[in-house]
Structure 1
Amino acid sequence: METVKGATSGNLNPENDVVTTLGQDRDMYSYIPASGCPHAKQTQVFMVLRDSDTRESAEEVMERLNLKQLAEERHFILLFPNPLKDGWNYKDLSGRDDDKSFLVRCFAALPNSKGGVAGFNGMIFYLGMSKSSSAMIMTLLCKSPLDTAAVMIGEFPEDYSIPDGPKSPQSAWVYEKNLAAEKYFNEVNKPLRSVDDYAEYSDSVVLWATAFENQDNKAIKLFTSEAGLSDATLADAWERLFSETRKWRNDVYGTYQKRVNFDDMGFTGHVKTDELHVSGDDELGIKRTWYEYVPVRYRGKRKKLPLVFYFHGINCTPLYGAEQSEWASIAEREGFMAVFPAPGEEERWNGQNDSRLAADAEFVMKLIEYEDKNVHPIDKSRIYISGFSMGSMFTNALAAAWPDVFAGAVAINGPHIGYLQTFDETLPGIVKFRPDSRVKGLAPNGEKESPVHVLSDEKKSKYDYKMPFVQFAGYLDILGFNPGRKFPMSSKEDGMWIDTINFWRKFNGICDTELMFSKETLSGLAADINKDEDRFFYQSWKDEKGDELYHFVTVRRMPHAVDTREPEIGWNIIKHYRRNKDGSLEYKA
């Protein structure tokens, strides 16, 4: 039994928050698989709604539907939220407790639960065991679609009418005849087409439902059946729907993405190894982890390939970053290697290259040599870097301090903090995200400038390096702004984004101008080139030769998240550049 406080906060950690509201103190039962769960950002949460609030009812459902074995095999968290005595508030009546918010709080309560594990907010799945619980799930998905990545429901009570809501796409499995639900899902998921997916499964798997998918996004799925709810139909639903679904919170109602099967794609993992011998790792007790992807058509061959690194955000993991960015899919199509490393400690990058922390920059340099000698030959004139959040900050740092190594960068939702601040200045923010961090009591070292700042200035003074750089920023994301400031920018006092933009403009030889701001643009910035396309507002500046090396892209409706089109957009800009041995840039159309 787990307590779900009415004041449970949805502020969990970056990229994994949910929106909660106050309610009654409630409870739920949970089952954490003894086989273990993956990283929280890779863990699915399966909420089973039944009409009883007893432990026995939860155990009976687990036994009847073989849920315990399924959870152990697939490593997901099972939650059994308990209804109040008057049942589920599927009509969302104002005089009763808000069950929608209660269900969201069940997820939010996980990190502090007895089980001590957490899941990902884009993989919260629901099963309705009864008419009333199916109606409750329907009400939740209609009014709060971000909180229902995929659902499995049956019939509704006779007195239930589907409520109004935003009518956003919703992956679902209807396990018994429910014309109202089918009509709703057909409408919100259109255009749909029937899918013959029998060939995707072995002869031993029985398929219990007819499959449909959205023509524009195959990850949006609808399954209809009259086979009812059983251990067999649930196993089929897990295989064909739940295991393949993720909904990113990167837009108003999220975006569906099919899960990546890393084994099938041919990822190679190096987990907790010391074979690179990075300085200081032994003293800090660090083992290094990374994953690499080589395009299928180049495996076993010796053709030199470009290399792209992707650095994930704080409190994340490399395979999460691989799914989030889809860099491997781009690599397969475009013909380059992709590497997804993990930071040395506490899931955070050493963006200042501070000597008291893990030597993550050295790790990247040694990875280049390792990949070239042991995995596949690398075209060292075409090594590129990319990252999100703290990974974006690390990307900024590497591009500034090692411009002789990298030919271009794509950074998403994170400013140039490694150059602009010392680690001591960023320490309070680090501790906020990890209160038990080993650096919590770290004594200040008195540095006025970070090692990245010093090295960047030193290299730039010896050679006039240029760096093709594409920076994305979410319009709703306040990271990089001073308190109370946000887009559109209007003053140099807005925060670190202004200093970041000015750094890269100066680095790339773009003349200073007093006309930095404009009330006519989405970002608030004045630029030489402005292009508005879909949710992306593109801006760039020309240097004295007319080259556009620095690009700033403001993304509408974007919180602190990634649109999977961003890496692709960035790649199509930076892929034309190569770094010559003398430090100069070469452009090929």
Structure 2
Amino acid sequence: MRATLSRLAPWRRLHAPLPAGWLAGRFPHALRARTFRQQRDYFLYVPTTVTRRDRVPLLVMLHGCSQDARTFAEGTRMNEVADQHHFIVLYPQQSLQANPLRCWNWFEPRTREGAGEAAAIVTLVRDIARRYPVDRSRVYLAGISAGGAMTAVLAFCYGAIFAACAMVAGVMYRGADSALAAAQTMRAGARLSPETTAHEAARRVSRKLRFVPALVMHGSRDTVVHPRNAEQIVSQFRKFAELVSTPPEPLAGPVERCINGEGRKYWQRDYVRSDQVLLRSISVDGLGHAWSGGDERHRFNDAAHPDASRLIWDFVSKFRRPAPPRWPLIRFWFRYLRRYLRS
């Protein structure tokens, strides 16, 4: 009887109801005990249509300063997009102990190198992908302001994990190395050259890392994070895309369009390789430091279109991360078999 029940256990797990809706959790305990000592929460939105037998995309959303996961979710209305397009949304939340304004510390030296908060977020993403029916080839990343700056860090340091990303009112990778420098960068742009930092990143990255297609969105009247930062992000990502391609090949463009739809007009610039848009810049006329098309009941949201959430999903959802080579798995089973035969 016990043997029968044990054989049925995997079947029961597969068909057990999947928790759905707005779910709360905490970062993995082992992580909190080591490099990420402050206790941090996360929130997860799982549409009711998702089952354990599915393999659905995961979108990681990083809030900005003076925001938390709930207000970010309600302001961006990203959960409504998730319901419509059948994907899971993860909202990591910064703690007040780590930063009194809940800003992600994207400028800290360890985080810029892929450790610290960057490593903690990636560990959480991997944990969620293990426990929920996530298609690991379709893990995406988006953020605003400090969350946008952290998105750039994660895209450069963990390109093997994320299929595409989006930055709203963000700052380029390695744009600052202290809180004071971060404030100066936000006001006037980074002092370092985007091309120089792209070269430095290309020299450091391993063969496992790759260019992450990106959408860069900014308001023309942003007085908190100067629009020059968006130009620097585009220049940096464009140069990095060239440097890590084999052989080095620049992105063509930009192909520019002025779009006059519902709400504000915006300029869209596309950078292309092999007929595929790998980098897109959107400048929204008259938009301040806000999520375009958001719920104005929450700070840093502007109700006027374009709808940033839908623009972001329309862009990132076109990409899949390349499947990993099969050789590591073959080597694993070869070593396992060799140990078994020796025992």
Is the TM value for this pair above 0.5? yes
Aligned residues: 270
Q: CA deviation at 1:414?
A: 1.5
Per the TM alignment, residue 460 of structure 1 is displaced from its structure 2 partner at its CA by 4.8
Query: Structure 1 residue runs of 4+, over 6 Å off?
Result: 452-455
Paired with 1:288 and 1:427, the residues of 2 have a C-alpha distance of: 23
Rate the CA distance shift 1:512–1:454 in 2: closer, same or farther, 3 A: closer
CA apart distance, 1:419: 1.9
User: What is the Cα deviation at residue 296 of structure 1?
Assistant: 0.2
- The aligned amino acid for 2:178 is F
Distance in 1, matches of 2:44 and 2:234, equals 31
Which consecutive residues of structure 2, in runs of 5 or more, have no partner in the other structure? 1-19, 188-193, 243-248, 295-306, 326-343
**The one of 284, 290, 293 aligned to 1:561:** 290
Name the TM-score, length of structure 2 as normaliser.
0.69
Higher helix share: 2
Query: Aligned match of 1:423 in 165, 175, 178?
Result: 178
**Separation in 1, partners of 2:284, 2:240:** 24
Specify every segment of 5 or more residues in structure 1 that has no aligned partner in the other structure, as ranges. 1-264, 433-448, 487-494, 514-525, 584-589
**Which of 553, 566, 571 lines up with 2:313 in the alignment?**
571
Q: Which residue of 1 aligns with 2:157?
A: 401
Matches within 5 A, 1:226-241: none
Secondary structure, aligned partner of 2:49: helix
Q: Are the equivalent residues in 2 in contact too, given 1:408–1:467 (CA < 8 A)?
A: yes
Higher relative contact order (CA 8 A, sep 6+): 2
The separation in 2 between residues aligned to 1:582 and 1:429, in whole angstroms, is: 40
Counterpart Cα distance in 2 of 1:295 and 1:356? 32
Q: Partner amino acid for 1:289?
A: D
1:468 counterpart = 2:225: no
> After the TM superposition, which residues 343-362 of structure 1 pair with which residues of structure 2 at under 5 Å, given as runs?
343-344=94-95, 345-346=98-99, 347-352=102-107, 354-355=109-110, 359-362=116-119
Write the distance in 2 (CA, Å) between the matches of 1:398 and 1:410: 11
Paired AA for residue 279 in structure 2: Y
Question: For residues 487-542 of structure 1, what are the alpha-carbon distances to aligned partners after superposition, in whole Å with 9 as ceiling and x for unaligned?
Answer: xxxxxxxx4333222111112337489xxxxxxxxxxxx83232413224242333
Name 1:529's counterpart in structure 2: 256
Whether the 8 Å contact between 2:148 and 2:171 is mirrored in structure 1 is yes
Paired letter, 2:241: N
Whole-angstrom distance in 1 between the partners of 2:205 and 2:260: 35
Counterpart in 2 of 1:199? none
| 1:296 and 2:48 are equivalent in the alignment | yes
* C-alpha RMSD of the superposition: 3.2
In the TM superposition, what is the alpha-carbon distance from 1:312 to its structure 2 partner? 0.6
- Tell me the residue number matched to 1:502: 235
Paired letter, 1:355: R
Give the alignment of 1:158-557 within 5 angstroms.
266-270=21-25, 274=29, 276-277=31-32, 279-282=34-37, 286-299=38-51, 301-344=52-95, 345-346=98-99, 347-352=102-107, 354-355=109-110, 359-374=116-131, 376-416=132-172, 418-423=173-178, 426=181, 456-458=201-203, 460=205, 462=207, 465-481=210-226, 495-509=228-242, 511=250, 527-534=254-261, 535-557=264-286
Is the CA contact (8 Å cut-off) linking 1:480 and 1:497 kept in structure 2? no
CA distance in 2, matches of 1:381, 1:356: 24
Equivalent-residue separation in structure 2 for 1:459 and 1:330 (angstroms): 37
Post-superposition CA distance 1:75-118 (Å, at most 9, x none): xxxxxxxxxxxxxxxxxxxxxxxxxxxxxxxxxxxxxxxxxxxx
Q: 1:395 to 1:293 in 2, by over 3 A?
A: same
- For 1:312, give the aligned amino acid: H
Q: Distance in 1 between matches of 2:105 and 2:184?
A: 13
Distance in 2 (CA, whole Å) between partners of 1:356 and 1:387 is 16
Indicate how the Cα distance of structure 1 residues 576 and 287 shifts in structure 2: closer, same or farther if over 3 A, else same.
Answer: same
Give the match's secondary structure for 1:419.
Answer: coil
**Residue type of the partner of 1:331?**
A
